[in-house]
Structure 1
Amino acid sequence: MKHLVLAITSLGAISMSAFSADLDLPDPLISNSGIEIDSSRKWEAARRPEVLELFREHVYGRKPHSTKGGWNSKNLDSGSKTVEVTEGVMDGAADLHSIKINMNNNGIEIQINVSLFIPVNQQPGSTPCFILICNRDPENIDPTRKIKSPFWPAEEIIRRGYATVAFWNAEVDPDEHDGFKNGVHGLLDHPDKSRGKDAWATIAAWAWGASLVYDAIESEGTIDPDKIGIIGHSRGGKTALWAGAEDTRFAMVISNESGSTGAALARRMQGETIAKINKGFPHWFNRNYRNFNDNEESLPVDQHMLAALIAPRLLYIGSAQEDTWADPEGEFLSGFHASPVYNLYGHKGLGDASFPTADQPVHGDRVAYHMRSGKHNLTEYDWGQYMDFADKYWK
Structure 2
Amino acid sequence: MMSRYFLFIFLFFLFQDFAFAQYTPNYDESKVPVFKLPDPLKTFNGKKVKSVKKWETKRRPELLDFFTQNMYGEVPGELKITSYDVLEQSNNALNGKAIRKQIDLSFRKDNNLLDFTILMYLPKNTEKVPLFLAYNFYGNHTITNEADIIISEAWAADYPSFGIINNQLTEQSRGVRANRWPVEKMIDAGYGLAVIYYGEVDPDKDDLSDGIQPFFYVDDQQQPADNEWGSIAAWAWGLSRAMDYFEMDEQVDASKVIVFGHSRLGKTSLWAGASDTRFAGVISNNSGCGGAALSKRRVGETIWRINRSFPYWFCPNFKNYSKNEEALPVDQHELIALIAPRPVYVASAEEDQWADPKGEFLAALYASPVYKLYGKKGITQNEMPEVNQPIQNTVAYHIRTGKHDVTDFDWEQYIKWANTFIK
TM-score between both structures, scaled by the size of structure 1:
0.88
- The equivalent residue for 1:113 is 117
1-structure distance, mates of 2:359, 2:266: 15
Determine which of 399, 404, 408 is the counterpart of 1:371.
399
Matched, 1:309 2:338: yes
Deviation, 1:310, is 0.6
RMSD (Å), alpha carbons: 1.9
Matched, 1:206 2:206: no
Matched, 1:94 2:98: yes
- The equivalent residue for 1:32 is 44
- The equivalent residue for 1:51 is 63
**Which one has the bigger strand percentage?**
1
Local SS of the residue matching 2:36? strand
Determine which of 248, 251, 255 is the counterpart of 1:222.
251
Local SS of the residue matching 1:241? helix
Determine which of 130, 137, 146 is the counterpart of 1:144.
146
Counterparts of residues 1-395 of structure 1 (less than 5 Å)? 22-67=34-79, 70-71=80-81, 79-83=82-86, 84-122=88-126, 124-125=127-128, 127-142=129-144, 144=146, 147=175, 149-178=178-207, 180-193=208-221, 195-352=224-381, 354-364=383-393, 366-395=394-423
Local SS of the residue matching 1:24? coil
Deviations 1:81-136 (A, max 9, x none): 112432121122111121001223343322101011110111x33x1110012134
Contact 1:135/1:235, CA 8 A, preserved across alignment: no
Deviation, 1:139, is 3.7
1-structure distance, mates of 2:398, 2:60: 26
2-structure distance, mates of 1:92, 1:219: 25
Contact 2:145/2:178, CA 8 A, preserved across alignment: no
TM-score between both structures, scaled by the size of structure 2:
0.83
- Sequence identity, in percent? 42
Deviations 1:362-381 (A, max 9, x none): 112x0100111000001111
Instruction: Give the number of the structure whose alpha-carbon radius of gyration is greater.
Output: 2
Count of matched residue pairs: 366
- Moved segments of 4+, more than 6 Å: none
Change (3 A) 1:218 1:153: farther
Deviation, 1:214, is 1.1
